[in-house]
Structure 1
Amino acid sequence: SIDCGSSESYSDDYSIGWVGDDLYIQHGESVELQSSKPIYQPMATLRVFTDRKKNCYNIDSEKGSKVLVRAYFFYGNYDGKSSPPKFDLHFDGNHWITVETSADQLVSYEAIYVTKTDTISVCVAQTFPNMFPFISAIEVRDLDSKMYGYSDSNRALMLRRRVAYGTEVIVRSTDDFYDRIWVPAVKGDDFTVLTSDETFIEVSLDDSPPRALFQNAFATDNTSTSIQLGTNLPTTKVPVYVNIYYSEASVLDSTQKRSLQLLVDGKINSKPFIPVYGTAGEITLYNLTANSDTTFSLAASPDSTLPPLINALEVFTVSDELTDGTNSDDVEGLASLQDEFNVLKDWGGDPCLPSPYSWDWINCTSGSTPRVTALYLGSFGLSGFLPDFSSMTSLEIIDLHNNSLIGSIPEFLGTLPNLKQMNLAGNDLSGTIPSSISKNKKLKLTVTDNPNLCVSGKSCKTASVDTSGSGGSSSSGGRKKSKLPVILGTTIPIFVLVWVIGGVCAVLHHKRKSEAIAAGNV
């Protein structure tokens, strides 16, 4: 559970542990709501985003796991404008819904689906002028793989309604292991609340509804009155997925029988089913389209002596097929750039999807699995060496001008098969330009204002030659030059000169000695 806009960790009234969002996102502005009325703590802060096409939270998950994701939005007039905004909500590169916030009511959305990567992304995107997206909280729960088993693993279930009949309080984490939120249904005059005589209800259903749901139920007053199920479906027809939960509240005698059947638009849609005392039962509707005009009702079967009852209800719409996301090779290359340059790390969610909400500094192709065709990272504050993003083979444009890039131009840039333009001007690149780049006639290359870069027509600095020890330097032909002529040419004249000087000194010494002897004889 992530409290957006907060930096605190705490437990709420439901014993749910919350953490601040500073480990998930560094962009946007944190806002603390000011209100004279009590506010549920996770809704007391929010994070608002005033730039970028979309802003995303990335949450670690396990690929192929079934998850429940909830997003909360509480406006609370945080900006003093009394104008609740509208904006889009995305998950994992898929459009979720257009969020319509309320002036004073909490708005939340929930999706259940199977993840396709090891990261869950929840994003908000600005879709209307001067309406800045915000988010109050995000919750992610792992579900058992058997839950909601009649749904297509390539589609998501979007919650429209989840209610518990006969309860007076919200049922969630302390009773529901998977922390689904079951809201108490409003009792009408035609209903009677039944309380189960059994204190421990056996629940062995794959969807694992909490036992607390089966302690109470709604029933009509007579067998001729059916239970009309509120669905909160949209006005347009969409695929739906409906779970109805039931359990007999009392031990029936031999003269009593409670038998139910489900009707859709007045037509019987199921075989009769009989609630069992002390045991949870469930009926699921799927492969069906419906809208707000479609009626769903539980009625007593013709042979039933008791009226219909219901304990709980879940209503979902079924999404379009979920995207596999941007091409994995491009995702890998973009991840290399983000790992190297801190300024890029705060860009999350799917790079290209949903269209047109790609990252601001890339261009993408259309289609279900888009490719990245351009990097626009000029004047982005990049500093350091260029990492290897050779997997991005659909790149046509690379703009990296006016940064602080150092080192040589990587060889792999010359192997990108579709590259047409590359601007590396205004950096501190050095060395020579790879021939695969300089000789590419189809590539428009700009490398000005790189003072240490060796370009055509400019003398290139070469590395100093090591002449120490006995090793020799290599000539352009690859042959070693001998130092022997130099040594001989130097040592032979010196030897002759020393020999001549020595001879002269010996003659002079002999002459002086002879003169001294002669003088002594006198």
Structure 2
Amino acid sequence: MDIHLLLLVIVFSASSISAQVFISIDCGASDSYTDGNSIPWSGDKDFFQDGVTQVVQSSNSMSHVMDTLRVFTARKKNCYSINAEKGGQILVRASFYYGNYDKKSSPPSFDLQFDGNHWTTVVTSSTELVFYEAVYIVKGDTTSVCVAQTKPDQFPFISALEFRSLGIHMYNQVDSNYAMFTKNRVSYGSNASVRFPDDAYDRIWGPGVAGNGLIDVSSDAIFIETTKAPDEPPEPVMKNAITTSSSSAYISLGSNSPVVSIYILMYFSEVIQLDSTQKRSFTFYENNQSLSDPIIPPYVDVFELYYKDNSTNSSSSNTFSLRPTTDSTLPPLINAIEVYLVSDALTDGTDSNDVTGLSSLQTGLVDLQQWSGDPCLPSPFSWEWISCNTDASPRVTALHLSSFGLSGPLPDFSSMDALETIDMHNNSLSGPIPDFLGTLPNLKQLNLADNKFSGDIPTSLSNNNNLKLVITGNPDLCTAGKSCETTDTTPTSSEFPVTPSSGRSTGKKKKSNKLPAILGGTIPSVFVIWAIAGYSYVLNSRRKRAAVVATGANGMHNRPNGTPPQGTKFNVNIEEQVNVEINVDPDDQQEQQNQYNATNI
């Protein structure tokens, strides 16, 4: 088991950094407002056009923020995405309040995800608010939070979503390739929650009222310096604490499950100015082993200690406690604690080349802009119109975009060089077929049938014997090297029926007045030469005869009856929370000393 412990005697100075991202989304709402905590909220209409807005039953109203929600009845996953600083640290809080909005008294469960990673399985309640927090380093220029349906007829929803930037120096004992999921955050001795504006980062510190032999105490300091601590606990949190009534008693902090990596931060500040006869000294224990030097809380300052256990293979749970040293005249105390569960290693997401290409597609084809979040991850919650391989950073191997109502020219997505299949038939795509399609090295199938493409077919496609190319139903297309002519919509005897492509059901046959390109390519040139010579001879003979007739008619002008025969016109037609209980063991009352429980870690 790999244990890390650090006592942070703070000697440096740091000022609180105002958050770069401070976004509060009231899901399902359309208005903007500021709540009683001076937090500005906005509705989610600028983030989401899909889903259904709902309102909780009036009898279940909890707060303005929780009265509305957005429900998603389509797609494998639905995501909110915001711009964020790459490499920045962010806290995300997702809240869910069912409130019997559908009058079915059946709160659903579903998955919660962020940036292509599984976060937790949300289990909602008929009467209670449920929220989850994650802290992580953003790997791209955006970050996304998604809800995903996992059970039939249990539609995911979300009530509120909050994004808060954290200082990059905070929580830096956890590797940046891992996320932290909040298990508990407690302000001991407080009788109300503490959050923004008292906490500049808007962490929510729940009240921890004394019980089980513990007593609440308050600091007599006028001011407590908290910004020197790396993780910057807010001053109101450090104004209160819990302790025991006996200097020989110890405080039990609870126990953790052996199957999860845990990260604990503890904050200490002396509540009174001690005289020379008083000493408060204690140590941090895991089971019966001391893991720290004596802790002596400073007055008007903060002492921070952290514990991180990376082991997930232990056969039994661990218990944590604060125990007085033999020379201490005062019992242990603790002001606040944060407990996080550490995730598995985070994914790097879908390959950046494919993300770039998909972004180009969405920019050029607005109907695709409804999809957001990581395209391929987590499996099996990829976007409905793509297929991905199983690489650690998945590659997109197919685009399934038939009958999507797409229109306009095809944008450049040439960076998607792992594509094997592209199916875009039965849309209204127009303009020339892009040359880059012929440069995709792994492309095996390309179906562009039944669109409005025009111009020449790139030779990189027409000459590719390894490519199955389908381009029927594009009447304005020409073969490479031949000039294109405007489609004549007037039916003539030269029209030929064209069989619709297999990817589209039209209900009737389409007709085109263009002949297959193969016809023009098989007429021998000698016939053309003889035809020209013959035509010239006939024309010359007629001109001579017309001249004789005119002379013999004493100046009267006569024309031959009828008009010269017209040449037949030929055109071309080419055919997808680790919710581990970490509880205090009620039977873990040790006999060797008096023990008092502080919290459920």
**Is TM (by shorter chain) over 0.5?**
yes
Find the aligned partners of 1:38 and 1:127 in 2 and give their Cα distance: 27
Question: Of the candidates 267, 270, 275, which is equivalent to residue 297 of structure 2?
Answer: 275
3-state SS of 1:237 partner = coil
Deviations 1:161-203 (A, max 9, x none): 0000011111000211111000001321311111111020122
Instruction: Pick the aligned partner of 2:344 from 316, 320, 323.
Output: 320
8 Å Cα contact 1:223/1:299 also seen in 2:
no
Preserved contact between residue 199 and residue 215 of structure 1 (Cα < 8 Å): no
* Map of 1:250 onto structure 2: 272
CA offsets per residue over residues 7-52 of structure 1, 9 Å max, x none? 1100111110001111111111111112225422111111111111
Does residue 414 of structure 2 align to residue 390 of structure 1?
A: yes
Q: Which amino acid is the alignment partner of residue 301 of structure 1? A: T
Q: Does 1:304 align with 2:328?
A: yes
Q: Work out whether residues 224 and 301 of structure 2, in 8 Å CA contact, stay in contact via their aligned partners in 1.
A: yes
Range moving further from structure 2, 144-153 or 372-381: 144-153
Equivalenced residues, count? 462
Match of residue 345 from structure 1 = 369
The answer to whether the 8 A contact 1:243-1:282 is kept is: yes
Do residues 448 (structure 1) and 472 (structure 2) align?
A: yes
Q: Which residue of 2 aligns with 1:241?
A: 263
Which structure 2 residues correspond to residues 142-291 of structure 1 after superposition, within 5 A? 142-203=165-226, 204-230=228-254, 235=257, 237-289=259-311
Q: Given residue 74 of structure 1, which amino acid in structure 2 is its aligned partner? A: Y
| Structure 2: segments with no counterpart, 5+ residues | 1-23, 487-601
In 1, the alpha carbon distance for the partners of 2:308 and 2:212 equals 30
1:359-438 paired onto structure 2 within 5 Å: 359-438=383-462
Instruction: Specify the SS of the correspondent of 2:362.
Output: helix
Name the structure 2 match of 1:8.
31
* Match in the other structure for 2:502: none
| Relative contact order, higher structure (CA 8 A, sep 6+) | 2
Instruction: Determine if the alignment matches structure 1 residue 136 to structure 2 residue 187.
Output: no
Which piece of structure 1 moves more, 16-25 or 247-256? Answer: 247-256
1:104 — aligned with what?
A: 127
Distance 1:455 1:424 in 2: 15
Q: Return the TM-score normalized by structure 1.
A: 0.86
In structure 2, the CA distance between the partners of 1:61 and 1:211, relative to structure 1 (3 Å rule), is same
C-alpha RMSD over aligned residues: 1.9
3-state SS of paired residue (2:461): helix
Q: How far off its partner does 1:339 sit?
A: 0.3
What residue identity is the alignment partner of 2:421? I
Percent identity of the aligned residues? 55
CA distance in 2, matches of 1:130, 1:5: 20
Q: Answer whether contact 2:191 2:209 (CA < 8 A) is retained.
A: no
Q: Structure 1 regions of 5+ residues with no counterpart?
A: 464-522
Q: What's the counterpart of residue 79 of structure 2?
A: 56
Rounded to whole Å, the distance in 1 between the matches of 2:81 and 2:209 is 37
1:233-274 deviations in Å (ceiling 9; x for gaps):
5x4521111000111111112221111111112321211110
Trace 1:480-491 onto structure 2 (pairs within 5 A): none
Q: Describe the superposition over 1:122-158 as per-residue Cα deviations: whole angstroms up to 9, x where unpaired.
A: 0011112221111111101111111112111111111
The answer to whether structure 1 residue 43 and structure 2 residue 43 are counterparts is: no
- Look up the match of 2:580: none
Deviation string for 1:375-404 (max 9, x for gaps)?
000000101000111110000000001100
SS at match of 1:398: strand
Does the 8 Å contact 1:164/1:183 carry over to 2? yes
How far is the alpha carbon of 1:220 from its aligned partner? 1.1
The code of the aligned residue for 2:417 comes to T
Instruction: Report the secondary structure of 2:446's partner residue.
Output: strand
The correspondence of residues 464-475 of structure 1 with structure 2, limited to 5 A, is: none
Instruction: Tell me, yes or no, if structure 1 residue 334 matches structure 2 residue 351.
Output: no
Distance 2:122 2:51 in 1: 18
Match of 2:144 among 121, 126, 134: 121
The Cα of 1:223 is off from its aligned counterpart by 2.6
CA contact (8 A) 2:229 2:303 kept: yes
Q: CA deviation at 1:346?
A: 1.5
Q: Distance in 1 between matches of 2:54 and 2:246?
A: 53
